[in-house]
Structure 1
Amino acid sequence: MKYYIIAGEASGDLHGSNLMKSLFEEDPQSEIRFWGGDLMERVGGTLVKHYRELAFMGFAEVIQNLGTILRNISICKKDIEAFAPDAIIFIDYPGFNMRIAKWAKKKGIPTHYYISPQIWAWKENRIKAIKRDVDHMYVILPFEKDFYEKKHGFPVQFVGHPLIDAVAQYRATADPQFRERHQLDDRPIIALLPGSRKQEITRLLSEMLTVVPNFANFQFVIAGAPSQDFDFYRQFLVNKNVVFISNETYGLLNVAYAALVTSGTATLETALFKVPQVVLYKASPISYQIAKRIITLKFISLVNLIMDREVVKELVQNDCNKKRIHEEFTKIIQDQGRTKMLQNYDILIDKLGGEGASKLTAQLINKNL
């Protein structure tokens, strides 16, 4: 079989790599071309474009880079036609992928969507395009099945969350010398996860670092994104109590005592590693004002959305400041706050189901061809 996979972000690269492993297990002779990242490239197949060329954050940034986005869509269509795949597999990244899905449907190419666009958060009217252009949808959040089937009459398959697989796989082979290899001392480690895009890193890492001077008994470590060079982070490394480690977020979370985390997939990863966290979000003023008017969710973190209640504290926009971060960080390093959060993490993991999301998805894709 020939598969064409499109993942446009770091999280999509992770899930895409595990899906590719399972597709190759199902059919070792598979041919795969993909848009993704380093993790997918290590599995095999042919990388067409790296996600670092695709990731634009916020409404304003997307508008500023519209020309580049449109050129990439054109390149993608031409490459798919030349490859003539048996199926296209979309991984999240809806602004781009839904445009390709519409085109592919007209061309008669089977369309499979793994990790649904978050239309339950905003742009719910995308359901019309999904019903029209997506042949098979594989969802990873428990509430998404009811959303699609009961609310919109669109059959989907719940496969469980692939992060459970990713975390379990990492822990099975975790480096026991992580601390020594990175010359970390014996103090409890605080992981700083500021995201993967330059805009969000710039806004949020400076806020995260405001807690450092007040907590000398902890060692703070920045999780560097694989999409950014060290030179970009150099401006933030002025405090001697801050260490930088690139492209080893799981290794860092595996030894972390607590974390400050940018909203997104990282909030769930942090929970699966059972690390107490405070979630931060700050967008450009224009992007935030637009988002506030069209997104009606009670929460911004996956942890709270899945649990449908506040498990981790979210500091959004104006609340994302030195004073509030200090207050909430203090709570998660104290016994009472930690114990309650860790108990809630256990409930969260039960809701997400067991391991095997990638394998099940690969099997269903082959079955549905």
Structure 2
Amino acid sequence: MKEQCLIIAGEKSGEEHCLSFFDSIKANRPDCHFFGVGGNELAAKDMELLYHLKDFSSWGFSEVIGKIPFYIKAFNHIVDEVKKRNCKVAILIDFQDFNLRLAKKLQKEGVKVLYYVAPQAWAWKAYRAKVLEETVHTLFTIIPFEKKWFGDRGVQRVRSVAHPLWITYKDELESFKRDRSYSEISKEKRLLLLPGSRNFEVKNLLPDFVETVKTLRAKSNLKVGIVCSSNVDKNLYAPYLDSIDVIFDNEQLSEALKWGDCSIAASGTVTLATALFGLPTVVCYKSSFFNEFIYYTFITYDGPISLANIFRNKRIFPELVQEGCSPYTIAKAFDSLMGSKESYENIVDELKVVFDEVQGEHFDVGQYMSEVIKESYEN
């Protein structure tokens, strides 16, 4: 019987997670056929795409609601394909609402579910821990405290893994001098803008970022760089590039992080990247009023939102959310980061702890998953 493995990587970040272990699985199980949801990079590695992630992903409650009919159809189609192919193992990556429902269905079909990147049930919807206990073969966590949190709630196999950003940038990080010294910052400070990798993020945040730059330049010398994502409509950047001195593309992210003295960034995975490279950052988030209403009405979590702060369970980086995010508040937060040697270097010291915690348990995730595939088809 030919080995089959379902993979659901419904967002670009999910594909990046998958790429961190996919080659290892293929090396260990070269005859296994992989199918499901992914992007161009997984397709280039011979994964069969039932759906492309660009059509599958969505952001925020309002966008998800509009795509419910599509998700129902896709859900049923994926389950049918699993049955038709007699697939015995599924790797479900993040994409919580869809993948948790799929995990329950697949478990009933006798499929072993490897769930990569635990949902943040500790922040909201704690009942999801019960779902995971009942449906998954192994849960993989990337935030240090999660292994114990889920284990205490009955999930039997929990493995703490290195965050994909550590895997991606390990060689660079190990050779990069992370001890940023305030005294070494030139008189012309280097500010890096990271307005996000989604259209709505850039549309909502970049105008405020550029207005902030104007305010800061009125007070001091400032050299400004930006990372432009290939996933974002170029027209959203065009009106603002005259205010930018250095333009990086997303393939040059690590170069940009080394270049900057500090950054202003959209909340997301990139804020962990800034932490790993020891770059003090102002974190910003803006979404629609509808999404804001849903969040404040139904979600009780009041902890930090950026990954560096979540890792340390304290607000190392200033966080500006919704109406609290404006050119005035961003400039004020920037001044709090860069205003003194003590404040700047205290943040840099805190980020060293994040660097240590992000590495997880030392084991080969792909080899572990390939063993589960092997066992499933031998039994």
Report the TM-score when normalising by structure 1: 0.86
Does structure 1 residue 312 correspond to structure 2 residue 317? yes
Q: Which shows bigger deviation, 281-290 or 115-124? A: 281-290
Residues 29 and 370 of structure 2 are in contact (CA less than 8 Å); yes or no, is this contact kept in structure 1? no
Which residue of 2 is the match for residue 195 of structure 1? 196
Deviation at 1:119, TM superposition (A): 1.1
Does structure 1 residue 288 correspond to structure 2 residue 328? no
SS at match of 1:237: helix
Distance 1:23 1:366 in 2: 5
Q: Equivalent residues in 2 for 1:16-55 (5 A)?
A: 16-55=18-57
Which residue of 1 is the match for residue 334 of structure 2? 329
Deviation at 1:88, TM superposition (A): 0.7
Q: Deviations over 1:82-120 (max 9, x none)?
A: 444341101111111112212211221211101111111
Deviation at 1:76, TM superposition (A): 2.8
Which residue of 2 is the match for residue 211 of structure 1? 212
Residues 17 and 43 of structure 1 are in contact (CA less than 8 Å); yes or no, is this contact kept in structure 2? no
Aligned CA-pair RMSD: 2.7
Which residue of 2 is the match for residue 118 of structure 1? 120
> Of residues 328, 347, 352 in structure 2, which corresponds to 1:346?
352
Number of residue pairs matched by the alignment: 356
Distance 1:16 1:270 in 2: 22
Q: Percent identity?
A: 28
Q: Structure 1 58/111 Cα, relative in aligned 2: closer, same or farther at 3 Å?
A: same
Distance 1:231 1:24 in 2: 39
Residues 10 and 196 of structure 1 are in contact (CA less than 8 Å); yes or no, is this contact kept in structure 2? no
Q: Structure 1 39/9 Cα, relative in aligned 2: closer, same or farther at 3 Å?
A: same
Residues 271 and 308 of structure 2 are in contact (CA less than 8 Å); yes or no, is this contact kept in structure 1? yes
> Of residues 102, 106, 110 in structure 2, which corresponds to 1:108?
110
Q: Deviations over 1:246-265 (max 9, x none)?
A: 54433322332221111222
Q: Structure 1 239/75 Cα, relative in aligned 2: closer, same or farther at 3 Å?
A: farther
Distance 1:35 1:219 in 2: 41
Q: Structure 1 227/80 Cα, relative in aligned 2: closer, same or farther at 3 Å?
A: farther
Q: Equivalent residues in 2 for 1:1-369 (5 A)?
A: 1-152=3-154, 154-169=156-171, 189-216=190-217, 217-239=221-243, 241=245, 243=247, 245-293=249-297, 294-334=299-339, 335-353=341-359, 356=362, 360-368=364-372, 369=375
**Which letter maps to 1:227?**
N
**Which letter maps to 2:337?**
I
Decide which structure has the larger Cα Rg and report it: 2
Deviation at 1:212, TM superposition (A): 1.8
Distance 2:360 2:129 in 1: 28
Deviation at 1:27, TM superposition (A): 3.0
Q: Which shows bigger deviation, 188-197 or 141-150? A: 188-197
Q: Deviations over 1:250-298 (max 9, x none)?
A: 3322332221111222211111122111111122122112212314141
Residues 282 and 320 of structure 1 are in contact (CA less than 8 Å); yes or no, is this contact kept in structure 2? yes
Deviation at 1:140, TM superposition (A): 1.6
Q: Which shows bigger deviation, 346-355 or 272-281? A: 346-355
Which residue of 2 is the match for residue 177 of structure 1? none
Distance 2:261 2:208 in 1: 19
Q: Structure 1 200/69 Cα, relative in aligned 2: closer, same or farther at 3 Å?
A: farther
SS at match of 2:272: helix
Give 5+ residue unaligned stretches, structure 1.
175-185
SS at match of 2:168: helix
Q: Which shows bigger deviation, 138-147 or 218-227? A: 218-227
SS at match of 1:3: strand
Q: Structure 1 109/316 Cα, relative in aligned 2: closer, same or farther at 3 Å?
A: same
Give 5+ residue unaligned stretches, structure 2.
177-186
Residues 138 and 361 of structure 1 are in contact (CA less than 8 Å); yes or no, is this contact kept in structure 2? no
Distance 1:254 1:142 in 2: 25
**Which letter maps to 1:263?**
S
Which residue of 1 is the match for residue 184 of structure 2? none
Report the TM-score when normalising by structure 2: 0.84
**Which letter maps to 1:22?**
S
Q: Which shows bigger deviation, 336-345 or 221-230? A: 221-230
Q: Structure 1 221/295 Cα, relative in aligned 2: closer, same or farther at 3 Å?
A: farther
Q: Structure 1 246/156 Cα, relative in aligned 2: closer, same or farther at 3 Å?
A: closer
